[in-house]
């Protein structure tokens, strides 16, 4: 019997985030939700990552309401979100009570699958979110942030997978955020994990370097169960490879693919129009759609290269680009080879630029790097260079335990603080995650409601 390969459609989250900075408002995809629901995806990734932040900041949408509306129109497909472990959706660690309530409410509002990752692959940062996901009755997808370094061996990844399984993960995701995983690496890593555990494996990559189709193909040959793809008009470049193309190719190779072609055709026809609007207004830039092999040469994610460029430009030091680029892997090695993903990618990049511009390494250090050296981001893949750590921390001792253990509960005090303003625990959670944005959003919402109330009276 043909082996089945399942698809996660990313147009509503990762493709939206990678190509148009998450600017897709609910109204622009509402009419497609029933079609997406019929297309036969394993899951639709639609929440988490930057969606929460951008909803409040730019789209003037309540992220919770957006999720409930998607849920209502998609009763048959699992809804998936991306969660940054103890960071939830932010860039620093939150107390456990917030992580637990956030996960519980995400599931109550419609999420079925939570993909939980940590920038350092420190399982201690995944524990609370994983447990909360299992307790809420959702699928915990334990995630490896994929990177390459002398200490990131397949044996290490397999060890991590076993720990994730013990924590309650029912699927494993290999998350190649930079699109640097090649076909042979995919084949070898998926085989190694499949040999070690009997669990569904999902591979997530990006088309950035052009490897993705080949990487998926070899991963499928090695037994991967689920791949992440984007409907064609929102595929390619910094997004995922195209859904329809992979469905076509995998079927031709004899795999079972339960994707409804009429539904994906309708989705593609519709999203072409949406894409064209975002091209016309300049939100979708041709650069994001193109193949860029630079990351293969530099082993630095594409997003980091453009950040380096813009930092140097601001400081009128574009001539230092090559030097900063060469310094980046050195800083990464000093810091114990963190995977370069938010927030570590920013921290390492900024430090590399500092080291080059100061003409002296670690003369100036950001407060984030200092916190990182104190252990506030968790256990690093390899030890931080001892001399550099000592130079940065001085007499301060690094943490030995889990940083979140030192944080005071935040939910109850925030409930009290927002009495009369917050209408629900969801509001309280939005406020804890993004206080300024949420406050502004609550004010806007109130003004809108008062306007509508006046309008209703006049009408009556
Ligand atoms: Co991604």
Q: Report how far ligand 1's centroid is from the alpha carbon of 177 (Å).
A: 5
pLDDT digits (tens, 9 = 90+) for 373-398: 999 999 999 999 999 999 999 999 99
- Cα of 248 vs centre of ligand 1, distance in Å, is 23
pLDDT, position 206: 95
pLDDT tens profile 74-116:
999 999 999 999 999 988 899 999 999 999 999 999 999 999 9
Q: Mean pLDDT, the chain, as a whole number?
A: 94
Instruction: List, in order of start, the domains of the chain with CATH numbers.
Output: 6-280 (3.20.20.70), 293-404 (1.10.472.90), 410-459 (no CATH)
Structure tokens at 134: 């299992």
- Give the tens place of pLDDT for each residue, 22-41: 999 999 999 999 999 999 99
**Given this model, what pLDDT does residue 294 score?**
83
**Which residue, among 444, 9, 391, 429, has the nearest Cα to 231 in the 3D structure?**
9
Q: In terms of Cα–Cα distance, which of 149, 139, 214 is closest to 182? A: 214
**pLDDT digit string, tens, across residues 151-196:** 999 999 999 999 999 999 999 999 999 899 999 999 999 999 999 9
Whether 140 and 166 have beta carbons less than 8 Å apart is answered as no
Please write the tens of the pLDDT for every residue from 186-205: 999 999 999 999 999 999 99
pLDDT at residue 332 greater than cutoff 90: yes
How far away, in angstroms, is 204 Cα from ligand 1 center? 7
Distance CA 416, CA 428 (A): 10
pTM: 0.94
Q: 14 alpha carbon to ligand 1 midpoint, in Å?
A: 6
Distance between CA 52 and CA 434 in Å, rounded? 9
242 Cα–ligand 1 center, Å: 14
State yes or no: pLDDT of 417 exceeds 70: yes
Max intra-chain CA distance, the chain: 74
> Is the per-residue pLDDT at 457 higher than 70?
no
* CB-count burial class (<10 Å; 0-12, 13-18, 19+) for 317: middle
Residue 334 corresponds to which tokens in the numbers above? 């000093």
pLDDT of 342 reads 79
DSSP string, 165-188: HHTT-SEEEEE-TTS---HHHHHH
Tokens at 273, concatenated: 């129009």
**What are the pLDDT digits (tens) for 290-319?**
898 888 877 677 678 778 888 898 999 999
CA of 448 to the centre of ligand 1 (A): 35
């Amino acid at each position: 019997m043909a082996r089945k390969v399942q698809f996660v459609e990313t147009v509503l989250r990762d493709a939206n985030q990678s190509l148009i900075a998450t600017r897709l408002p609910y109204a622009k995809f509402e009419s497609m939700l029933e079609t997406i629901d019929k297309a036969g995806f394993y899951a639709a990734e639609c929440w988490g990552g930057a969606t929460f932040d951008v909803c409040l900041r730019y789209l003037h949408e309540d992220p919770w309401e957006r999720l409930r509306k998607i849920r209502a129109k998609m009763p048959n497909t699992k809804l998936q979100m991306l969660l940054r472990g103890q960071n939830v959706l932010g860039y620093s660690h939150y107390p456990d009570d917030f992580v637990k309530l956030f996960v519980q409410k995400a599931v109550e509002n419609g999420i079925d699958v939570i993909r939980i990752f940590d920038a350092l692959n420190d399982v201690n940062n995944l524990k609370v979110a994983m447990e909360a996901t299992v307790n809420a009755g959702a699928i915990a997808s334990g995630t490896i942030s994929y990177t390459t370094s002398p200490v990131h061996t397949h044996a290490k990844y397999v060890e991590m997978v076993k720990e994730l399984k013990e924590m309650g993960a029912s699927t494993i995701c290999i998350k190649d955020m930079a699109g640097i995983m090649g076909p042979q690496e995919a084949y070898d890593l998926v085989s190694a994990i499949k040999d070690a555990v009997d669990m569904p494996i999902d591979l997530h990559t990006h088309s950035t370097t052009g490897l993705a189709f080949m990487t998926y193909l070899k991963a499928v040959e090695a037994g991967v169960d689920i791949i992440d793809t984007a409907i064609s008009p929102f595929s390619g470049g910094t997004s995922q490879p195209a859904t329809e193309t992979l469905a076509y190719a995998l079927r031709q190779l004899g795999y079972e693919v339960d994707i409804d072609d009429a539904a994906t055709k309708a989705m593609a026809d519709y999203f072409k129009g949406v894409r064209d609007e975002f091209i016309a207004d300049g939100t979708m830039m041709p650069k994001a759609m193109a193949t860029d092999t630079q990351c293969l040469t530099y082993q630095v994610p594409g997003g980091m290269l453009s950040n380096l460029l813009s930092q140097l430009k601001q400081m009128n030091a574009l001539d230092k680009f090559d030097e900063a680029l060469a310094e980046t892997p050195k800083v990464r090695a000093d810091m114990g080879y963190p995977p370069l993903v938010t927030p570590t990618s920013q921290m390492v990049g900024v430090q590399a630029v500092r080291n080059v511009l100061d003409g002296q390494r670690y003369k100036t250090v950001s407060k984030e790097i200092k916190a990182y050296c104190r252990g506030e981001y968790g256990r690093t893949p390899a030890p931080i260079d001892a001399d550099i750590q000592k130079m940065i921390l001085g007499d301060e001792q690094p943490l030995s335990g889990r940083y979140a253990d030192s944080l005071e509960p935040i939910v109850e005090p925030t409930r009290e603080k927002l009495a009369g303003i917050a209408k629900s625990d969801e509001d309280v959670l939005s406020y804890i995650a993004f206080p300024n944005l949420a406050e502004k959003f609550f004010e806007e919402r109130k003004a809108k409601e008062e306007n509508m109330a006046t309008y209703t009276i006049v009408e009556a």
